[in-house]
Amino acid sequence: MTQTDSNATMDPFASRIGPWLSARLPGSPVVTITDASEPAQGFSSRTILFTARWDAGEGAQARRLVARIQRDVAVPMLADVFHQYRVMRAIAAHSTVKVPTIDFAESDPAVLGAPFFLMDRVDGRVPPDFPSYHQQGWFAELTTAERTRAWWNGIEEMARLHRIDWRHFGFLAPQQETAPDAVFYLDRFVGNWFDWARDGRAFPVIAEALAMLRAAAPPAVQSGLVWNDARLGNTMYEVAGTGVAALFDFEVATLGPPEVDLAHWVYLDEVFSENFGVPRIDGLPRGAEAVAGFERIYGRPMPRFSYYMAVAALKILILSVRNYGNDKDMGAPAALPDFLVRRLEHYLGEFAAGR
């Protein structure tokens, strides 16, 4: 049997996950579920935070866990919660990258109504998206030097992610024999999302940009996992300090050049400041300063970085075309599409000019 906490809204979850978890622990102890809560955010899956408690031979045990439960989604690229599960397990198996530990998973929807996995809860703090970390919150309250250090610490952790051999993620590209390049990325992710997002409609600006970038793609110098949502808001930092505690949200991870993630990281800084009418906070590198730092950390030149900034601008523009928030308001301002079109034109211009 399973005891539950007093939160009535979490009772169905607690009464089901307790016995399920009990059967997977040594000795099948009685599991008590406490402190269960469901944060408001989460587009691709439900997220429930809770603590599992039980008695074992060595005494009382407690494990703080996070359940990620699959939703019914419209967009195919977010339809499988086990995509993230497989990616994070592969990261943990083949690197020291800081990602939450995942020991439990269930594909049978009979338990919670949908497939799910459980990962350890990591203590830390995340720069907020809304209101923007450029405007307020703990990140804005850091000194300029601390913000710069946190920003680069995130890049250092991401570089470790990108050093994992792409072949360890073969499930993302069955039968792929050559290193995934920018064309692979554009075809497998950007193009697929655009095909879904346009829903039979014509978007000449996007279609022309996609064709141009596909035709002008540089050869891949390095290939690996593309996090695909690389940004400060998906990086958890230590409770006190600027060290990285964990990277998370790998729902749409794929393969390709590391520059895809680096450009996305830089580009989202623009979205969460300039697009929202918020002054850009001091201490966050951009332009030549950012590229020089990337080259130092990755140990190689990145002469075509403007190409990847254009790819990032195109991707984010495509994500704005059709709502994929599963009946949740994504909070995007009304001017978002216009801003993103202008940014796409800007970076396409930079790339065409050879900068």
Indicate which residues carry an active-site annotation.
229
Q: What does the block give as tokens for 208?
A: 């022309």
- The region, left, alpha or beta by phi > 0 then psi within -120 to 50, assigned to residue 254 is beta
Q: Report whether 185 contacts 115 (CB < 8 A).
A: no
- Going by C-beta distance under 8 Å and a sequence separation of 6 or more, which residues neighbour residue 274? 280, 339
* DSSP state at residue 95: -
Place of tokens 């065409």: 352
Count the residues in the chain: 355
Q: What's the one-letter identity of residue 85?
A: Y
User: Alpha-carbon distance 97 to 245, whole Å?
Assistant: 10
User: Alpha-carbon distance 52 to 31, whole Å?
Assistant: 6
- Let me know if 90 is exposed, middle or buried by CB neighbors in 10 A (0-12, 13-18, 19+): buried
> 224: how many CB neighbours lie within 10 A of its CB?
23
User: Alpha-carbon distance 216 to 142, whole Å?
Assistant: 41
Q: Helix (H) and strand (E) counts for the chain?
A: 10, 9
User: Alpha-carbon distance 209 to 15, whole Å?
Assistant: 51
Q: What does the block give as tokens for 129?
A: 């998206």
Closest by CA position to 285, among listed 312, 266, 271, 308: 266
| Packed helices 204-215 and 336-352: angle between N→C axes, nearest 10 degrees | 30
